[in-house]
Structure 1
Amino acid sequence: MTIQESGTARPAGRPRSEKAEKAIIEATLDLIGEGMGVSELSIEAIASRAGVGKTTIYRRWSNKEDLVVDALSTLKAPLPPLTGTSVRDDLISLLDAMRREAGHTRSRCVMNIAMSEADRYPRLMERFVKRAIEPRREAMRAVIERGIASGELRADLDVDMGMALLSGVMLWHTKWGPAGDLPPDLAERVVDAALAGMAP
């Protein structure tokens, strides 16, 4: 800490700039959205796109993987509010969040990276899953377990299988389904189809 002539203390080093951080995150997402894979992505390219120096990036992130995890995590919208009134309504809310995210180019690129580069960057994917995917997975697990406890779902239901059925069907529609906008009632149809086998 340095002491100015006025006698007031000033913290050493530059203050963190939220504007610079936002520009760096946006630049990273833009480059990924344009089809650049993690291996091709460079700190130099990100700095150039963001209009900052490389040192500005390295002051905030120690390596490229840390930056990519933070950037990708910003694409996952917060968990939708769950009313708790019925298992069906809460599952529809969770799946509809997946449908809405799939409509954004950047979100589709996240899925492409997750599918194609997980083997090359296991640490990156592990950390991304922990930060962005696990909270949603745990929310769905809690809803299904609540449904079993309340009698809305079968007592012998395999929770992991139920989660796979719901999220797997949505993944198929968002990644490999027919081209074009996903129908607004997709989540409702998927949940109702799954509940036909999951209900008592």
Structure 2
Amino acid sequence: MTELAETPAQPGAARTQGRPRSSRAHEAILEAVLDLLADGVSVEALSMEAIAARAGVGKATIYRRWAGKDELLLEALVKLKGPPPQPLGDSVRADLVRLLTVVGPKDERAVRVMPCLFPEVHRSSEAYRIWQEGMAEPRREVMREVLRRGIATGELRPDTDVEVTTSLLISPMLLHRMVRWNPALDGYEDLAERVVDTVLRGVTA
């Protein structure tokens, strides 16, 4: 196996601890993690040896970048999910619909990886932390900001419970996407709009 080479240091560049990072090797390692998860390897069974073999690097190359598997897994899953969509500020309703709608290209591996992650989240405190820090909390915070803005502008009632409203909006969309909890909703192309409008009827000023 030929290991992906490290990028040589540029003349005059300040040296950091260890050898310079190779963006090519870095990406190959992240892709290897996602490919293995998409192939059905559980978080628990995912090993540094398997990741290194899939990426075509040595284990030392991985440990130069991540302290352990949890940190590597977190970055890979954040890469898979991508950044949360950002509100445009037109209206609370428009921003909430945007946040609940899948925006931009979607990695097809997410359909296989994300449902498999949930059992791990229930079994492992580390998997739970990775899920919360890497994916759930950043998206919740963006939605909280939209709701707080709606309260400040008078679009929403001043006594709106931001945390409960956030969960009311996110939970049905997440549940349907992950496990198709209610197949009757499959044909609702405007599901995000329906969820937002239903919730807003209860919190609109």
**For this pair of structures, how many residues does the alignment match?**
191
Cα distance in structure 2, aligned partners of 1:40 and 1:55: 20
1:132 to 124, 135, 140: 135
Which sections of structure 2, spanning at least 5 residues, go unmatched?
1-11
1:123/1:98 Cα in 2 relative to 1: closer, same or farther (>3 Å)?
farther
Cα distance in structure 2, aligned partners of 1:89 and 1:46: 41
Kept in 1: contact 2:85–2:103 (CA 8 A): no
Which sections of structure 1, spanning at least 5 residues, go unmatched?
1-7
Kept in 2: contact 1:28–1:46 (CA 8 A): yes
Aligned to 2:164: 161
| Partner SS for 1:74 | helix
Deviation at 1:162, TM superposition (A): 0.6
1:35/1:88 Cα in 2 relative to 1: closer, same or farther (>3 Å)?
same
| Partner SS for 2:95 | helix
Aligned to 2:198: 193
State the percentage of identical aligned residues.
Answer: 47
Deviation at 1:128, TM superposition (A): 4.1
Tell which deviates more after alignment, 104-113 or 12-21.
104-113
Kept in 1: contact 2:121–2:131 (CA 8 A): no
Q: 1:100-179 to 2 correspondence within 5 Å?
A: 104-106=108-110, 108-113=112-117, 115-177=118-180, 178=183
1:179/1:43 Cα in 2 relative to 1: closer, same or farther (>3 Å)?
farther
Deviations 1:14-51 (A, max 9, x none): 32111011011000000011121111111111111111
Cα distance in structure 2, aligned partners of 1:196 and 1:50: 50
Answer yes or no: is 1:88 the counterpart of 2:70: no
1:51/1:180 Cα in 2 relative to 1: closer, same or farther (>3 Å)?
farther
Tell which deviates more after alignment, 180-189 or 18-27.
180-189
Deviations 1:108-166 (A, max 9, x none): 523431x2112443134324422332221111111111112222122222111111110
Q: What TM-score do you get using the length of structure 1 for normalisation?
A: 0.83
What letter is aligned with 1:139? V
Cα distance in structure 1, aligned partners of 2:101 and 2:147: 16
Aligned to 2:43: 38
Deviation at 1:98, TM superposition (A): 7.8
Kept in 2: contact 1:98–1:170 (CA 8 A): no
